[in-house]
Amino acid sequence: MNYSQLKQNKALRINKANFLMNRKWIEEKNLIECLECLIEPYDKVCIEGNNQKQALLLSDALSKVNIEKINNLHVLQSTILFPLHMEVFEKGIANKVDFSYASIYGTRFAELAQKGDLKIQGMHTFLELYSRYFLDLTPRVCLVSAEKADFDGNLYTGANTEETPAIIEATAFKDGIVIVEVKEVIEKLPRIDIPSDWIDALVLNPKPQPIKPLFTRDPAKISNTKILMAMLAIKGIYAKYGANRVNHGVGYSTCAIELLLPTYAESLGLKGKICEYMMVNPLPTLIPAIEAGFVKRIVSPGGEVGMNEYVRSRPDVFFTGRDGALRSNRCFAQMAGLYAIDLFAGATLQIDIYGNSTTITSERMPGFGGAPNIGSNANARRHTTDAWLLAGKENQKQLNSIPNGKKIVLQIVETFQSSGAPSFVETLDALEIQKKMHLPLPPIMIYGEDVTHIITEEGIANLLLCRTIEEREQAIRSIAGATPVGLKRDKIKSDELRERRIVTYPEDIGIQRKDATQDLLAAKSMNDLIEISHGLYEPPAKFLRKTSN
């Protein structure tokens, strides 16, 4: 039996493309033809699509190959953010996809799937997808991006390493073909992140990439309602459990928490007790807490626009290389979120009466990213912290007599979304989507059994303390406000749950609604963040224009 078929096939493909390359380098004018030599029909092709960097030139070239030569591709792509990412599916070059997050294109995916033009093989979490690269979804070809390369093809990934190492390693060590686009070629790299002998082909793409400030939130847009919910989170949950290792999802509610750390949280004597260690991108709204010595260490899945110089100047806080640039790694950061944190705080679009939550609605199907990993209880965890043990002690659903801990999984939502749609529903849209798309499972982001607390502007529901499914339902209804779900609460049962501190309203823990104002924020504008950073933070111009108006 021949055990070297992949190696032999790779050699044939590269030999076929050699006349189009100068050593490993491809001129842009030859790129499409070169891809037609290196890719074959039915290949699994991994396209790098991260939060902050994408292989856009390679993606564009792939969308222009001759469909008679390249077809029936199976695309592996964690994040799909741009129209050209969709073109390989729209043109029929690819007809299968495994992905994690599709932003606004999730709905189009659903349409193509219903027409039979596209098969969605899986909607994964990030870690789930990366893991499968090393098993049954190993890329035959990968198209990735790097900041710089030297003439030999060694790579420097800069502040946005993200998932590049996982993609390249899975491909290179299974005799796949690694193709890289780089912004710049220089003689000596600041550091070598990926060695040249893992790389098969490179192309120069000096054109600026449209990097989006995905994790930037303007403090001026944080409402009093968000501030109230942040106060409830800090005093009612973070302080109670001593949550010191934390992940925050993206949103104004968690940004409000970050901006209340040096003010409200410090006034409660919580400095040194909560939020010292965080798994997050370099969020601008964390600048005041970092400068106040509240946050001590941050591991980041990726970078953020405008934060590079600030990160470079705070190496004790961020993981940086000798060149000073951030060293991000989405795979390792996600593992920290799965195993090492005590508390995950995020938001969602729908929560049902049992606490199941999802961002998948009848209007949009974006995928989940890393939330299901970070917002789940890792049963394999064996190290302990006080927060983890206390949550486990409270957990009334613990069936095993042997003591165990529990990650705190907090959902922070207003009772109604900005669109006017209720955040709380009797039944998730995901169940109808499952039927419509013939999915084996409903696309639920975080299962109710993992959600430990829910906060709304009404109060806190501590689902750990619920002894029955009926109590869980009534706890959720008790904080669901004027939504149809909330209007069905049992007043007598709500009062009983409040007595047992399963339901907590602001006044129960000494929080006055009138105190929830922007006066509590450590920064009230983007200009404040710049000033507190000593001028090191450089927000995108659009944020400054909005601030000055």
Tens digit of pLDDT for each residue in 348-376? 999 999 999 998 876 666 778 889 999 99
The whole-angstrom separation of Cα 435 and Cα 350 is 18
Alpha-carbon dihedral 132, 134, 138, 143, rounded to 10 degrees: 100
User: Is a pLDDT exceeding 70 seen at residue 545?
Assistant: no
Report the CATH architecture of 16-204.
3-Layer(aba) Sandwich (3.40)
The CA distances from residue 535 to 158, 213, 292, 424, 526, in Å, are 22, 18, 16, 42, 11
Cβ atoms within 10 Å, residue 138? 19
- Kindly state the average pLDDT of the residues 417-435: 93
What percentage of the chain carries pLDDT values higher than 70?
Answer: 98
DSSP string, 142-165: EEEEEEEE-TT--EE-TT--TTHH
Kindly state the tokens that stand for 391: 């949550």
What sign for the dihedral angle of Cα 308, 312, 318, 323? positive
User: Is a pLDDT exceeding 50 seen at residue 57?
Assistant: yes
User: Is a pLDDT exceeding 90 seen at residue 308?
Assistant: yes
Domain with CATH 3.40.1080.10 in the chain: 16-204, 219-520
User: Is a pLDDT exceeding 50 seen at residue 549?
Assistant: no
pLDDT digits (tens, 9 = 90+) for 274-292: 999 999 999 999 999 999 9
The whole-angstrom separation of Cα 381 and Cα 440 is 28
The whole-angstrom separation of Cα 163 and Cα 76 is 13
Q: Label residue 206 by pLDDT band (50, 70, 90).
A: very high
Cβ atoms within 10 Å, residue 379? 7
The whole-angstrom separation of Cα 239 and Cα 184 is 48
- Kindly state the average pLDDT of the residues 334-360: 95
Question: 214: helix, coil or strand?
Answer: coil
Residues 6+ apart with CB under 8 A from 479: 415, 454, 455, 456, 458, 459, 460, 461, 486, 503
pLDDT at 237 (0 to 100): 98
User: Is a pLDDT exceeding 90 seen at residue 98?
Assistant: yes
The whole-angstrom separation of Cα 231 and Cα 253 is 10
User: Is a pLDDT exceeding 50 seen at residue 103?
Assistant: yes
Task: Give bridge partners of residue 343 from the DSSP assignment.
Answer: 246, 408
Question: 367: helix, coil or strand?
Answer: strand
- Kindly state the average pLDDT of the residues 33-41: 98
User: Is a pLDDT exceeding 70 seen at residue 400?
Assistant: no
Cβ atoms within 10 Å, residue 435? 9
pLDDT digits (tens, 9 = 90+) for 134-170: 999 999 999 999 999 999 999 999 988 999 999 999 9
Work out the angle between the directed axes of helices 126-133 and 164-172 (0-180°, nearest 10): 20
pLDDT digits (tens, 9 = 90+) for 164-202: 999 999 999 999 999 999 999 999 999 999 999 999 999
pLDDT at 548 (0 to 100): 42
- Kindly state the average pLDDT of the residues 294-320: 96
User: Is a pLDDT exceeding 70 seen at residue 452?
Assistant: yes
Q: Label residue 399 by pLDDT band (50, 70, 90).
A: low
- Kindly state the average pLDDT of the residues 292-296: 97
pLDDT at 547 (0 to 100): 44
- Kindly state the average pLDDT of the residues 298-303: 95
Q: Label residue 265 by pLDDT band (50, 70, 90).
A: very high
Kindly state the tokens that stand for 189: 């790299």
pLDDT digits (tens, 9 = 90+) for 486-536: 999 999 999 999 999 999 999 999 999 999 999 999 999 999 999 999 999
Residues 6+ apart with CB under 8 A from 167: 46, 48, 133, 139, 142, 144
pLDDT at 41 (0 to 100): 98
User: Is a pLDDT exceeding 80 seen at residue 437?
Assistant: no
The whole-angstrom separation of Cα 443 and Cα 437 is 11
The whole-angstrom separation of Cα 71 and Cα 45 is 11
Assign residue 356 a region (left: φ > 0; alpha: ψ between -120 and 50; beta: otherwise). beta
Homologous superfamily, domain 219-520: Glutaconate Coenzyme A-transferase (3.40.1080.10)
pLDDT at 474 (0 to 100): 98
- Which residue from 399, 540, 413 is spatially nearest to 486, judged by alpha carbons? 413
83-71-97 Cα angle (round to 5): 55
Burial class (CB in 10 A: 0-12, 13-18, 19+), 453: buried
Beta strands in 386-526 (DSSP E): 408-412, 453-455, 460-462, 503-504
User: Is a pLDDT exceeding 70 seen at residue 546?
Assistant: no
Check if the beta carbon of residue 79 is closer than 8 Å to that of residue 49.
Answer: yes
The whole-angstrom separation of Cα 483 and Cα 420 is 10
pLDDT at 167 (0 to 100): 97
